Structure 1
Amino acid sequence: MNTTESVLNAPREVTAERTPVKQPTLSRRLAAGLIGMLLASLLAILNEQVTAFAMADIQGALSIGHDDGTWLTTLFEAANVATMVFAPWFGITFTLKRFTIAAVLATMFFGVLCPFAPSLPALYTLRVLQGIAGGCLPPMLIIVALRYLPPKIKLYGLAGYAMTATFGPALGTPLAALWTEYASWKMAFWQIVPLGVLSCIAIQQGLPDDPLKLERIRAFNWTGFLTGCPAIAMLVIGLLQGDRLDWLSSDFIRVMFIGGTALLAVFLVNEWFHPMPFFKLQLLSRRNFAHGLTTLAGAVILLVGVAAIPGQHLARIHAYRPLQTAPLSLLVALPLLLALPLTAALLNLKRVDSRWVMAGGLVLMIATCLMGSFMTSEWIRDNFYLLQSLQIAAQPMVILAILMGVTTGLPPTEGPFASAMFNSLKTFSAAAATALIEGLGTARERFHSTMLVDQLGNRALVTSQGIDTASGLSELAHRVHEQALVLMSADLYRVMACVAIALLFLVPVLPVRIFPPWTATPPSSH
C-alpha cells in the first residue's frame, strides 16, 4: 500500500514543479534590483578579501603585533560564517529588501569606523559587528535568484552568484595592493562605501516591497540559534588559530573543537525535528543536492589552495609584495567576467550534461595542481601564468555545475534553506582550507627541513667546502629553508590534486542527470 501511494504521489509532485503558474518576468526595474543584490554580495566578499590581504599594513599602521592581528581576521570570519546560517530566516521575516539594505548600511558603517577604533578591543568589536553584517549579504543573492529569475536566464543569475565566489576573491590581492601602495591602508575598509551606496539605491528602486512576516518571530528557533551560532564560531576560531597555537597541544583549541562539535551535533538534531528550522536537512535526501554540497566543500578547498599557493611561494621565496603578485590574480579575475556567462550559456543547452562539464573543470584543476607540483626555487611569477590560465575555464565549470545541481528543481519556498546550507558550508570550507594550507604547510616545511639537515649532516662535503664560517652557515641555512618551502608548496599542490581526483570519482557515481531550468523535463532528485 505504501509503495502504491508513493507512486501515485510522485506525478503530483512533478506536476506541481512543472505547472507554469505565475512564471516570473524580468522587468528593467527588477533587473536593477537583482544587480543591486549582486553588488551587495560582491561588496561583502571584497570587504573580507581585501582587508585580509592588507592586514600586514593595517597591523603596522595601528601598531598591532602579529598574534593580536590574527584575531582581527579570526573574529571577523567566525562572525561571518555563523551569521550565514541564520541570515535567510531573518531575510524572509523582515523582507529581503529591507534586510539587505540594512545589512549593507551596517557593513559600510562599521567599516568606516574601523580605522578610528580607539583601542584594540574596540577594533575587535567593530570587526565582529562587520562580520555579522557582511555575513547577511551573500545568502540573499541565491534566494532572490531562485525567486525572481525566469527559467530561461536562471543560470545566468547563478553565474552572477558564482562571480562572488570566483571573481570577487581574485580581486582581493590587486585591490589590497592598490590601496596599500598608492593610497592609504584605510581604503581597505572604506572601499566598500561607493559600491554599498550604489547597491542600496538599486535594491530600493528595483526589488518589490514584500510584506513583513513578524508573526514568524513567535516561532523563532531559539534552540537552533543558541547552539548553532556558538558551535560554528568556535569551530572557525579553532581552525584559524590552530596552526599558531599548535593545534590539539593547546587547551584553548581543544575546547574550541570539542565544544563546537558537541554544540553542532545538538544543533543538527534540533534542525531535523524543528518545524521552522534554519537548515532543512531533509534536502540531503536528494542525490544532486547532497552531491552539490559535498563537491562544494572540496571545490572551495581547491579554489583557496590554488589561489594561495603561488602567492605564498612568491612572497616567502622571492619577497613579493601584493602589488607584484596582483597580475596573477588579475589574469584569472578579468577573463572570468566572460567565462562565467559563457559557461552558463553552455549549461543552458539541453543536450549538455552538467556532470561532464563539472568533470572537465576538475580535470583542469588536476592538471594545474600536477604541473605546480614540479615547481622549483627558480619559479617566479611568469612560471605561474599557465597554471592560473587553466583556472579561467576550470572555476566556472565546477562552480556553476555545482550551483545548477543544488538549485535545479528547488521551489522558491526552499530557497532560504538551500541558501543557508550552501553559503555557510562555502564559507566554512574556506576557513577549513586556510587551516589545511597553514597546518599542513607548517608540518611539511618542518619535515623537509629536518630531512635536508639530516642529509647534509651525513655528508663530509659540507665541512670540506669551508662552510664553517658564520656567513657560510647563514647562507646554508637560508638555502635549506628555501628548499623546504619549495618542497612544502609542491606537497600542497599534490594534496589539492588528490582532493580534485576524489571529487572527480564522485561525478559518475552520486549525481543524476539534470536539465536546465527552462526545459520541460523535470530534474530527478533521488
Structure 2
Amino acid sequence: MSAATLPMVPTYPRADAAAWLAVAAGALGAMMATLDISIVNSALPTIQGEIGASGTEGTWISTAYLVAEIITIPLSGWLEKVLGLRTLLLAAALLFTGFSMLCGASHSLPMMIAGRAGQGFSGGTLIPTAMTIIATRLPPPQQPIGNTLFGGTVILGPVVGPVLGGWLTENASWHYAFFINLPVGAALVMLLTVGLPHQRLRTDLLRQADWLGIAGLALGLGGLTVVLEEGEREEWFASSEIRILAIVSVIGFALLALGQLRSEKPVIRLALLRDRQFGAIAALVTVAGMVIYGTAYVIPQFLVSIAGYNALQAGEVVLFSAIPTLAMMPFTPRLVRLLDIRLAVGLGMALMAFSAWHETDISSQTAGSTFAFSQVLRGFGTMFAMAWMNQASIRSVAPELAGDASGLYNTARNLGGSLALAGIAVVQDQRIWLHSRRIEESLSANSPQVQTYMADRAQALGGMDNAYRSLSGTIQTEALVMTYVDLFWILTMIVIVLMPLVLLLRPLPKGGRMVMAH
C-alpha cells in the first residue's frame, strides 16, 4: 500500500491544565454525591437518638436523599442546556454544601429531612455532568483516563460511605459526616471556577420545556421510590399514605408518557429504551445497582445483628470490594479498548452472581473474614460490568442523545438500589416469620434430645423460663440467618436470569477509542 492510500489518523491537541482541573472537579463532585447516599448508614442509630426520631421515622433520613436524587439525575441534561455547565455545577456545589451544613446542624427530624432532600436535589446533577466534563474538556485519546477516574469514584462512593460515617461517628461526632462536605465543597467550587468556561443562560428553553414531563418525572419517580422504600413498613396498601402515593406515581407516569407524545424535545427520552442494546443495558445496570446497593446493606446488617460487629467494623468488611477498583483503575482504559464488551460485561455479571452465591453458605458462626473473598470478587465484577456498560450505553445512541442516555443509565442504577432495599424489607419480614415457624415445628416437646437440651439450658441459666427465652432467641437468630441466605440466593438468581441480555450488546471495534456521555 502506498503512502497516498494510507488511512488518515486524526490528531488531537493534549488537554491543558484547566481541562484536567475540570475533570478532577467532576470526579470530586460525583464522589461527594455518591458517598453521601450511604455515609449516614453507620451513624443512623446515633442520629435518630439525638434528634428524637423513631426507627421508622429515621429511615426518611436515607429515603429523602434517594428520592430527591433519583428525580434530579434525568433532569440534569436539560438543566445543563438552560444554565450552562459551569453555572449548573457551581450552583449544585454551593447548594449541596449549604444543605450539608443544615443536616449537620439539625436538631429535629423535619430539619434533617429538609437538608437531606436538598442534598439529593443538588447532588443528583453532580453525577451525570461529571461525564459531560470528560466528553467536552478532554480529547478522545485522553478520555479513557478521565472515564476511569469517574468510574472509580462512582463505585467507591457507596462503599467508602459507611466506613467514613462510622469512623467519624466513633471518633468525633455524627455531625462531621455532614460538616466534612464544607472543605470538599469549597475545593470543588475553586476547581469548577478555574476549569470550566462560562456559558450564557438559555432562558428561551424554559418556554420550550417539556413541563408535563418534568412534573411527571418528579411525581412518578418520587412517588414510586417512596412506595418501594416505605411500603413494607406501612403494610403496603393497607396504609392510606401508600395508596395516595401510588396514585400520585401513576398520575406522574401518565403525565410523563403524555410529554413523550406531545413534546418535540422531551425532558427524558424514554424512546431510547426501544433500542435493543440500550434496553438491555438499562436492565443490566438496574440489576447491577441491586447487587451493589443490596449487598452493601445486607452484609453490614448481618455482621451487626449476628456477628456482633459495630458499625465501623462492618463498614470495613464492605470496603474489601473497593480493592479491585483501586487495583484496576490504571489498566481499565487499555482494557476497555482491547476486551470485547460482551465478554467483559458477561464476566462482570458472572463474578457478581458467584460472589452472591458464595455468601449463601453463611451461618450464625460466620465472621467478617468469611466475606472478604466474596467482596473482592464482587469488586472485580462491578468494575468489569459498570466500566464497559457505560461505554456500551453511549455507543448505542446518536452522539446528540448521549446526555439523555447518561441520565437514563444513572437513573436505572439508582432505581435498582431502591428496588433492592424495598425487596430486602419484604423478604426479611416474610421469610423470618416462615423460618421461625418451620424451626419451631421441627422441635417436638416429646423429643428426648429437646428435653435434654432444655434441661441443660435451665440448669445453666437458672430456671426453665430463662431456658425458653434463650431458645426463642436462638430460633430468631437462626431464622434471620436463613433469611439472609435467601436474600443472597435471590440476588444470585436475578443476575443469572438477566445475564443472557449481554448477548444483545454490540461490540466496540477492537482497539477503538472510548466514548463518553455528554
TM-score by length of 1: 0.89
Q: How does 1:386-465 map to 2 (within 5 A)?
A: 386-408=373-395, 410=397, 412-457=399-444, 460-461=447-448, 462-463=450-451, 465=454
SS of aligned partner of 1:208: coil
Matched, 1:249 2:238: yes
Q: Distance in 2 between matches of 1:496 and 1:287?
A: 24
Q: How does 1:102-501 map to 2 (within 5 A)?
A: 102-117=91-106, 119-349=108-338, 352-408=339-395, 410=397, 412-457=399-444, 460-461=447-448, 462-463=450-451, 465-466=454-455, 469-501=464-496
For the Cα contact (< 8 Å) 1:317–1:377, is it kept in 2? yes
Q: Note the alpha carbon deviations across 1:339-388, whole angstroms, 9 max, x for none.
A: 23423321112xx2111111111221122122111111110011111111
For the Cα contact (< 8 Å) 2:22–2:133, is it kept in 1? no
For the Cα contact (< 8 Å) 1:271–1:277, is it kept in 2? yes
For the Cα contact (< 8 Å) 1:293–1:422, is it kept in 2? yes
SS of aligned partner of 2:127: helix
CA drift of 1:141 comes to 1.3
Worse overlay, 206-215 or 218-227 = 206-215
For the Cα contact (< 8 Å) 2:303–2:367, is it kept in 1? yes
SS of aligned partner of 2:508: coil
Give the 3 Å change call, closer, same or farther, for CA 100–312 of structure 1 in structure 2: same
Structure 2 residues not aligned, in runs of 5+: 1-6, 459-463
Worse overlay, 364-373 or 241-250 = 241-250
Matched, 1:507 2:502: yes
Q: Distance in 2 between matches of 1:118 and 1:381?
A: 34
For the Cα contact (< 8 Å) 1:224–1:270, is it kept in 2? yes
Give the 3 Å change call, closer, same or farther, for CA 58–22 of structure 1 in structure 2: farther
The one-letter amino acid of 1:310's match is I
Matched, 1:81 2:70: yes
Q: Distance in 1 between matches of 2:437 and 2:333?
A: 49
SS of aligned partner of 1:326: helix
SS of aligned partner of 1:243: coil
Give the 3 Å change call, closer, same or farther, for CA 94–477 of structure 1 in structure 2: same
CA drift of 1:66 comes to 1.5
SS of aligned partner of 1:244: coil
Give the 3 Å change call, closer, same or farther, for CA 25–247 of structure 1 in structure 2: farther
CA drift of 1:30 comes to 0.5
For the Cα contact (< 8 Å) 1:97–1:203, is it kept in 2? yes
Q: Distance in 1 between matches of 2:84 and 2:355?
A: 43
For the Cα contact (< 8 Å) 1:143–1:415, is it kept in 2? no
For the Cα contact (< 8 Å) 1:248–1:254, is it kept in 2? yes
Give the 3 Å change call, closer, same or farther, for CA 67–275 of structure 1 in structure 2: same
Q: Distance in 1 between matches of 2:46 and 2:92?
A: 27
Q: Note the alpha carbon deviations across 1:272-328, whole angstroms, 9 max, x for none.
A: 441121112232343322221111101111112232222121111122112112331
Give the 3 Å change call, closer, same or farther, for CA 20–78 of structure 1 in structure 2: farther
Q: Note the alpha carbon deviations across 1:225-256, whole angstroms, 9 max, x for none.
A: 12211111111111111121122332322332
For the Cα contact (< 8 Å) 1:377–1:483, is it kept in 2? yes
Q: Distance in 1 between matches of 2:278 and 2:143?
A: 17
RMSD: 2.5
The one-letter amino acid of 1:241's match is E
Q: Distance in 2 between matches of 1:488 and 1:97?
A: 48
CA drift of 1:471 comes to 0.8
Worse overlay, 272-281 or 151-160 = 151-160
Give the 3 Å change call, closer, same or farther, for CA 24–242 of structure 1 in structure 2: farther
Q: Note the alpha carbon deviations across 1:163-199, whole angstroms, 9 max, x for none.
A: 2331111101210111000011101111112221112
The one-letter amino acid of 1:84's match is I
For the Cα contact (< 8 Å) 1:155–1:404, is it kept in 2? no
CA drift of 1:418 comes to 1.4
SS of aligned partner of 2:365: coil
The one-letter amino acid of 1:499's match is I
Q: Distance in 1 between matches of 2:107 and 2:313?
A: 33
For the Cα contact (< 8 Å) 1:84–1:424, is it kept in 2? yes
* Identical pairs, percent: 24
For the Cα contact (< 8 Å) 1:53–1:173, is it kept in 2? yes
Q: Distance in 1 between matches of 2:188 and 2:235?
A: 42
CA drift of 1:21 comes to 9.3
For the Cα contact (< 8 Å) 2:22–2:137, is it kept in 1? no
Please point out which of 58, 75, 78 is paired with 2:47.
Answer: 58
CA drift of 1:519 comes to 4.8
Please point out which of 15, 24, 33 is paired with 1:26.
Answer: 15
Q: Distance in 2 between matches of 1:256 and 1:458?
A: 48
The one-letter amino acid of 1:470's match is D
For the Cα contact (< 8 Å) 1:155–1:344, is it kept in 2? yes
Structure 1 residues not aligned, in runs of 5+: 1-17
Q: Note the alpha carbon deviations across 1:198-238, whole angstroms, 9 max, x for none.
A: 12111111112223222211112111112211111111111
Give the 3 Å change call, closer, same or farther, for CA 230–183 of structure 1 in structure 2: same
Q: Distance in 1 between matches of 2:497 and 2:161?
A: 29
Worse overlay, 370-379 or 461-470 = 461-470
For the Cα contact (< 8 Å) 1:231–1:259, is it kept in 2? yes
Number of equivalences: 502
For the Cα contact (< 8 Å) 2:100–2:178, is it kept in 1? yes
TM-score by length of 2: 0.91
CA drift of 1:81 comes to 1.1
For the Cα contact (< 8 Å) 2:322–2:376, is it kept in 1? no
Q: Distance in 2 between matches of 1:150 and 1:441?
A: 49
For the Cα contact (< 8 Å) 2:277–2:396, is it kept in 1? no
CA drift of 1:59 comes to 1.2
CA drift of 1:501 comes to 0.5
CA drift of 1:516 comes to 6.6
CA drift of 1:459 comes to 5.3
SS of aligned partner of 2:41: helix
Q: Distance in 2 between matches of 1:284 and 1:235?
A: 19
CA drift of 1:121 comes to 2.4
Q: Distance in 1 between matches of 2:8 and 2:232?
A: 53
Give the 3 Å change call, closer, same or farther, for CA 480–513 of structure 1 in structure 2: same
